Amino acid sequence: MAPDGCDAQYPIRQDWVCDWIKSGEQNAAKLLKAIKGRLPYLHADYKDLIISVPKDCMTARDLLRTIAQELPGWQTTAFPSHMT
């Protein structure tokens, strides 16, 4: 089904380059918070989990996939209005 209303007029930007995220080992909670600081994304508390970000300037979609791969039971889903 095609999105309508606000979702159609203002679709999410899965291809948004997160140029403020640099490659290297990163704390999961801090990484999610850094993404949330510029993207509308909510997260649980993962203070002790380290995520390896493979390259600079990844898209929001690719960063969330990378994070989900490290979190047991997580998956990512993109809707016309948001990503989870």
43 is a domain residue: yes
9 is a domain residue: no
pLDDT in tens, 3-40: 666 567 667 778 888 999 999 999 988 898 888 777 65
66 is a domain residue: yes
Average pLDDT, integer, range 34-60? 78
What's the confidence (pLDDT) of residue 21? 93
41 is a domain residue: yes
pTM: 0.51
Q: What 3 state SS string does the chain have?
A: CCCCHHHHHCCCCCCCECCCCCCEEEEHHHHHHHHHCCCCCCCCCCCCCEEEECCCCCEHHHHHHHHHHHCCCCCCCECCCCEC
pLDDT in tens, 57-78: 999 889 988 988 887 777 788 8
What's the confidence (pLDDT) of residue 41? 45
Structural domain for 40, as ranges:
32-72
What's the confidence (pLDDT) of residue 79? 80
How many structural domains are present in the chain?
Answer: 1
What's the confidence (pLDDT) of residue 70? 85
